[in-house]
């Protein structure tokens, strides 16, 4: 991950400081964003958010309406866009870059509802962003300048890796892979634990082993430059126990590959339906 604190905006409004907005704010502060340049708008901020803003000197729901920041980050629930739109319009200046993380809301939806909008980045982060290990796919409209794209990259990279997409159309596929992906991995732990119990382990013990195995393997993958296939081959002796299991998981057809392809296709299809 390449962090560029010097590219962070000097003024930013965060609209919606819930789970994801709050995590993003913490990421920006961690990489050196100047808190006095941040304004948070949220009608019912959590106690933690109120405390964080007070501690850091961040303006929270100021009585003077802020306007024309470098960046406005939109992190309300998608269904709140309609309600929030009139207020949002008032915050925008001609140079303001909007970064939206609203699932299913296209750049067209945003510019359609916000007449003052021009430059828009649509981003899809995922849950591990809350611990700085997220994976975000992002797409920009033609009005986004190179400086604004780098600014968006600096903000999004504070929560993990950022992949810029050549076309917004790819967001549904990103949603299906990394957006929804953490749940697939949690389910893998459930399946491994259940299989361990079926193999004779006490269920609690199987849970602990499965959990530590997936998090440990994930950390190894994180720390390594090797492709996952090489890491897999490195621990698979011919004719050994791992090979016996992989023969089942990798069978063709009906192995994990086909199942995963089907699952990701279903998630992508659903993302398209929800957007439409």
Ligand X SMILES: NC(=O)c1ccc[n+]([C@@H]2O[C@H](COP(=O)([O-])OP(=O)(O)OC[C@H]3O[C@@H](n4cnc5c(N)ncnc54)[C@H](OP(=O)(O)O)[C@@H]3O)[C@@H](O)[C@H]2O)c1
Of 21, 137, 160, 181, the residue at the interface with ligand X (CB under 6 A) is 21
Strand partners, 164: 138
Give the residue among 271, 250, 272 at the shortest CA–CA distance from 259: 250
Residue nearest to ligand X (CB): 18
Only one of the segments 37-45, 139-147, 157-165, 200-208 lies at the binding site for ligand X (rule: CB under 6 A); that segment is 37-45
Q: Which is nearer to ligand X, 50 or 213 (CB)?
A: 50
Pairing of strands 134-140, 119-124: antiparallel
Only one of the segments 17-25, 141-149, 160-168, 247-255 lies at the binding site for ligand X (rule: CB under 6 A); that segment is 17-25
Q: Lay out the site mask for ligand X across 73-112 (x = CB under 6 A, - = otherwise).
A: --xxxx-x--xx----------------xxx---------
- Residue 260 parent element (H or E): helix 256-275
d(CA 179, CA 245): 28
Q: Helices in 166-223 by DSSP H: which ranges?
A: 171-174, 181-198, 203-223
Of 39, 96, 106, 126, the residue at the interface with ligand X (CB under 6 A) is 126
CA 112 to chain centre: 24
**172, 70 contact by CB (below 8 A):** no
**134, 108 contact by CB (below 8 A):** no
Residue 269 token pair: 């299809």
Residue 16 contacts ligand X per CB under 6 A: yes
**Closest approach of ligand X to the CB of residue 58, in Å:** 15
d(CA 80, CA 122): 16
**Closest approach of ligand X to the CB of residue 217, in Å:** 22
Residue 128 contacts ligand X per CB under 6 A: no
**Closest approach of ligand X to the CB of residue 240, in Å:** 38
**98, 123 contact by CB (below 8 A):** no
Residue 38 contacts ligand X per CB under 6 A: no
Phi-psi domain of 65 (left: phi exceeds 0; alpha: psi -120 through 50; beta: other) = beta
Residue 42 contacts ligand X per CB under 6 A: yes
**Closest approach of ligand X to the CB of residue 41, in Å:** 5
Only one of the segments 125-133, 147-155, 210-218, 226-234 lies at the binding site for ligand X (rule: CB under 6 A); that segment is 125-133
**Closest approach of ligand X to the CB of residue 150, in Å:** 22
Q: Which residues bind ligand X (CB under 6 A)?
A: 15-21, 41-44, 75-78, 80, 83-84, 101-103, 124-127, 179
């Amino acid at each position: 991950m390449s962090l560029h604190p010097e590219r962070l905006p000097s003024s930013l409004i965060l609209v919606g400081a819930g789970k994801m907005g709050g995590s993003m704010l913490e990421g920006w502060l961690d990489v050196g964003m100047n808190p006095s340049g941040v304004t948070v708008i949220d009608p019912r901020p959590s106690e933690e958010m109120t405390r964080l803003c007070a501690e850091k000197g961040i303006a929270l729901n100021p009585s003077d309406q802020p306007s024309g920041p470098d960046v406005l980050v939109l992190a309300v629930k998608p269904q709140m866009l309609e309600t929030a739109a009139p207020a949002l319009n008032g915050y925008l200046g001609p140079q303001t870059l909007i970064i939206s993380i609203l699932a299913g809301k296209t750049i067209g939806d945003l510019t359609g509802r916000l007449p003052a909008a021009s430059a828009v980045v649509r981003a899809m982060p995922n849950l591990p962003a809350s611990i700085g290990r997220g994976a975000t796919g992002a797409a920009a409209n033609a009005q986004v300048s190179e400086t604004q794209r780098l600014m968006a990259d600096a903000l999004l990279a504070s929560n993990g890796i950022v992949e810029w997409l050549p076309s917004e159309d790819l967001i549904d596929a990103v949603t299906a892979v990394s957006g929804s992906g953490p749940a697939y991995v949690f389910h893998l732990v459930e399946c491994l634990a259940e299989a361990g119990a079926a193999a004779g382990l006490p269920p609690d013990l199987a849970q602990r082993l499965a959990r530590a195995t997936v998090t440990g393997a994930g950390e190894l993958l994180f720390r390594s430059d090797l492709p996952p296939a090489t890491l897999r081959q490195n621990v698979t002796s011919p004719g050994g126990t791992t090979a016996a299991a992989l023969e089942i998981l990798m069978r063709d057809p009906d192995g994990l590959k086909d199942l995963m392809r089907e699952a990701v296709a279903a998630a992508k299809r659903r993302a398209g339906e929800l957007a439409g």
